[in-house]
Structure 1
């Protein structure tokens, strides 16, 4: 744990030493320092920065109600003077589960979004939001700063009067100003945004999952939703088929008329004959396109003579054209209109051009630095920082498959991709083949991703009890079926992140990985701990090495306890992993990617670290918004990040470099006030840092830290 501090004053004894305490001799002080430096599991801090006599106190504001009650009971018992020996003093450790989140009023005091967009509100007087801009501005909290980052960067702030930095882009009548010199209406920095039409289709279960349902039927998998989806899909397909038939007949008639006109004028640029149907459809005659592929292993299952099928369809089309040109009534037969010929493009894509593993998009994973998909803290603003500092591969936060299929906006927000993320994937959590196969089709159809990752490592009880996350490692047959379904609907690589196993003393990943490799998984990442272990022990890199050899030639990444370039070099040299995934190390020091690529220890200053926090705040305002809710969302995620960032020990303060992830420091002070403040494990000091970036916290603000130990001051 690290020392608490105040930005204004940094006492030589952490501000909490007893003033009546007798001055210690030099020998006594040196003995205390020696004892602090010899404690197992503690980092070695240079003596001049140690706070020897610091005594932490509990800050009750950041305790749960149950912990407060326990402290109260202990205090009452202590006050009762009895002959009974005192019980063991309460010790705050572990996690705060079921943490409350700040809620924001959805109507009171908020301006209507239609008014912000300078449109007429369709709800009129019944709208619950404010329509009078002057009335809103009179009750709006004071601006945080005079300069709006979004306006200065893009030339327009979409939040207009609601912006908490709006002074710079509002005129005297509170109209939004646009800087046309830098404003680009076509600029698109974020993709994978959920559009309303798609969301409504998902809400009403009107989305066409025909491709996924067909694959599930071939695999013999049927769920209670399959019939519902197929019914809706078949209705939409009938409408599309009728429309396509009419369009086809209309196009043929128009083409025949064009051909007549050309023949009369002596010009014949359109020549249709068997073997030359390129104006209508182009079908490859390459050997790789002559077979229907089995979804189980990608091997040829049924031979289909494409050339014969094309020639037969040409004959039928030629007969139809001749009949139309001679004035006789002719229509395509029902079998032809339903797709028994190559003119039905949907059947061509589903039947003839199902990609083999060799034909799918490939990613070179070798020697890449992979930022782990981190729930809550691995958000888009944070990933942008890591990407700028050297991360090669990024992945979105874990998204629950069922929530995606239901069109939940909060879940779809986890799939957003920034333009700077050149190699980007999404991670899906689910436990059933039908759910994840449909998710795979949805991602393939609607998102721009380079790979899709299945979460087989989440240790959370809620996820595990539903048969998802790390529970899939114990249900191998189901996991194989999930992989078969998803690889059949995806054109991008499918990867999997897993742990060593479920139980602490029973590693099973080495038996799972070869089976996944044989099913077409492109890459597997192994976190060197079991579900039961969580973070209580060091990652088992010897076992990760065993898994890497078991999965060869498929790439296997290792994950666990990387906090310096020396750690990364050691793991790469001693194991057969193809690359390194970094999780907590990136949260504690996101510049670890720079250190690994430049092979150096970066003694980053407190000013440089504060600039990273400012960059995160700017990214957050751009991503979550500049209004009150956007500012508070940014603050919340900033505080979540600071709960990891404060664990970094500056290189210049260490006697032994590098810092180890399992070592905690004794209480210490930094080289300046800001460095000391950033080293504080107190949640109160994190809030102070957030106020330096995002202004004062609103009235009634509360933040409960993830770890109980951060309630000390």
Structure 2
């Protein structure tokens, strides 16, 4: 194809724009008119004058990484010399709070505080209300949802449910909400303190850890073959020794709760953005299975409040909610699994993260570092299964740690022989790739075919045909951005289902597309309604006071740092849309659509103000990932 764009060329303007861009990029798809890396936007929506921007090359890092705050805790396609990667680690996460703090016992309308004059908080309701910022107009979203406002007098919408010096309550709506709209997996403060003071007893874990440590010592002395580190079912005597470590024998992997993931619509574990309000939104939009943000095993064992907020789930997630943990030590993984089974009983699976690529975890031997320490990985799986009660254990892998040196097949083979994981998810990238370049679905297919062949053969029946070995599901992960990508994964690449990560951040209604088997051209109004729903869920979760509004606003802006990348299918020249394509500067079909596509985080704050009122002077926001926004 000629790239001649000189005066007098017969090429139409739209194609000329694409070809000009191709010369800058230096590459073009060989099988179509698509320019590699460029979103094919119709010419009438492309802005001729490019506004000077601090363009950046994307380094999308939402899935399975990011260890700063917790959620419970350049987009032109043209590479600039300046790359803006990594996290904004120096951003200020501390937000302004109330100048006068109301006593907790008074906030709900109590007449007196049991601490009396010794209490250091404000008891004068009139004085407190006078010190508050002007109430946000409208009805309190929390009151409208559940019939009362748990924040009480601190609510920023107080005037909507406070009359005659009394907080209003809608008893009928409150009763309904208590049955249908609640949060689970809340750890009791007493248990949290026991963990914090190292006084919690781990009766199951202690025996299992001793058993596995003894095996390591025997291996080092050459008294046992290396294959015993697989902890498979061939050594019945050792299994009996393990069972003898307990007052009550542990459940076999085949006796645990069953997962059914064939064709399930699965949302990946996502850090920062994958918080409870977002997962609740995704359940509303069609997700079948959700996962917590990645929790670190050691902070869980230390009883840290921020970490125990991660396994918390909404009632709509019950029956399809997994808790993902990361650690480098088998004893931490085992104890964390026992703690989750006890304190987060509404968990459907405990997922071991063996794919997180960030340096902080990798250098400690956690996340993707486990791909190079298979013996430790197997010990974790065995130990976690022994203490997790009826909750099955699953794993999430990458292809390997280095480009061109995949190790997943060997790991999967050992997991199959081990027979104790209920599901294996394979992300089609190496650790070195992080989230750049396309996922290798041909390799995923090779592994999926291998798993299906083995689980249908005699290898997974157990030596005595006793049914001790679990036949795991195989799930693919990487670059799922449309219903077509999702179905291709199952129909062309052999997986039982596909896990969606960034695709569900950029296009939250992706599972609606899967059900409809077509692209959905959501209007700007419909998309704004999704943002409103997220904001309301955030207020229900974090609270409707100043702190809760600030938290909701910050995480809403993080959410918008991905959703702004969505390009409506109605303005694309041809389909399918691709997750790694970047657009030239473009305008929407109306002002709201243009606003929702803004790359300027100041506009995201403006969008948040539609539902959360004006941001106070002390509110600050910088996107977690440097590549996600810049000022225009």
Q: Taking structure 2 as the reference length, what is the TM-score of the superposition?
A: 0.81
Q: Is the 1:92–1:709 Cα contact (8 Å) retained in structure 2?
A: no
Name the residue aligned to 2:421: 521
Q: Quick one: distance in 1 between partners of 2:497 and 2:275?
A: 22
The answer on 1:426 being equivalent to 2:323 is yes
User: Could you tell me how far 1:532 is from its partner in structure 2?
Assistant: 1.1
1:33 correspondence with 2:25: no
User: Do 2:99 and 2:131's aligned partners in 1 also have CA atoms closer than 8 Å?
Assistant: no
Aligned residue in 2 for 1:459: 357
Distance 2:596 2:96 in 1: 32
5 Å-filtered alignment, 1:114-263, equals 114-118=105-109, 121=113, 123-173=115-165, 175-184=166-175, 186-187=178-179, 189-220=182-213
Question: Which stretch shows the higher mean deviation, 551-560 or 450-459?
Answer: 551-560
Secondary structure of 2:310's counterpart equals helix
The answer to whether the 8 Å contact 2:205/2:335 transfers is yes
Q: CA RMSD in A?
A: 2.8
How big is the shift at 1:351?
4.6
CA distance in 1, matches of 2:202, 2:234: 22
Give 1:477 shift. 1.0
1:450 and 1:27 mapped to 2: Cα distance? 57
For the pair 1:569 / 2:569, whether they are aligned, the reply is no
| Number of aligned residue pairs | 548
Residues 378/303 of structure 1: CA separation in 2 closer, same or farther (3 Å cut): closer
Who is 1:401 aligned against? Answer: 297
How far is 1:370 from its partner? 0.9
Deviation at 1:549, TM superposition (A): 2.8
Cα deviations by residue, 1:293-340 (Å, 9 ceiling, x for unpaired):
x97538743899xxxxxxxxxxxxxxxxxxxxxxxxxxxxxxxxxxxx
Deviations 1:458-513 (CA, angstroms, capped at 9, x unpaired): 11111111111111111111111111110111222100111111112211111111
Aligned residue number for residue 385 of structure 1: 281
What 5-or-longer segments of structure 1 have no aligned partner?
1-24, 60-87, 224-293, 305-346
The CA deviation at 1:169 is 1.0
Using the TM superposition, give the Cα deviation of residue 123 of structure 1 relative to its aligned residue in structure 2, in angstroms: 4.8
CA distance in 2, matches of 1:515, 1:148: 54
Asked if the contact 1:298–1:357 (Cα under 8 Å) also holds between the matched residues in 2, the reply is no
Check conservation: 1:454, 1:497, Cα contact below 8 A. yes
Look at both structures and tell me which one has the larger radius of gyration over its CA atoms.
1
Shift of 1:200: 1.6
1:302/1:656 CA distance change after superposition, 3 Å: closer
Q: Name 2:551's counterpart in structure 1.
A: 633
Q: Is residue 707 of structure 1 aligned with residue 632 of structure 2?
A: no
Distance 1:508 1:116, change over 3 A: same
Which residue in 1 is equivalent to 2:574? Answer: 656
Match in the other structure for 2:435: 535
> Per-residue deviation at 1:610?
0.3
Go from structure 1 to structure 2 and tell me whether the alpha carbon gap of 1:211 and 1:691 turns closer, same or farther (over 3 Å shift).
same
Q: 42, 49, 55: which is aligned to 1:46?
A: 42
Q: State the partner residue of 1:507.
A: 406
Structure 1 partner of 2:61: none
Measured after TM superposition, the shift of residue 172 of structure 1 is 3.9
Report the Cα distance in structure 2 between the residues aligned to 1:579 and 1:388, rounded to whole angstroms.
20
1:256-292: CA deviations, max 9, x gaps? Answer: xxxxxxxxxxxxxxxxxxxxxxxxxxxxxxxxxxxxx
Q: Offset of 1:106 from its aligned partner? A: 7.0
Cα distance 1:36–1:90, how it changes in 2: closer, same or farther (>3 A)? closer
Give distance in 2, aligned partners of 1:586 and 1:147: 30
Paired residue secondary structure (2:532) = helix
Asked if 1:548 is matched to 2:539, the reply is no
CA–CA distance in structure 1, aligned partners of residues 423 and 122 of structure 2? 52
User: Hey, what's the Cα distance between the residues in 1 that align with 2:53 and 2:208?
Assistant: 61
- Cα shift at 1:588: 0.5
Do 2:98 and 2:546's aligned partners in 1 also have CA atoms closer than 8 Å?
no
Post-superposition Cα deviations, 1:665-701, rounded to whole Å, max 9, x if no partner, equal 1111111110010111111211111111211111032
The residue aligned with 1:672 is 590
The secondary structure found in structure 1 opposite 2:352 is strand
Deviation at 1:57, TM superposition (A): 3.6
Task: Assess if the C-alpha contact under 8 Å between 1:33 and 1:52 holds in 2.
Answer: no
- 3-state DSSP class of the match of 1:696? coil
CA–CA separation in structure 2 for the residues paired with 1:699 and 1:131: 26
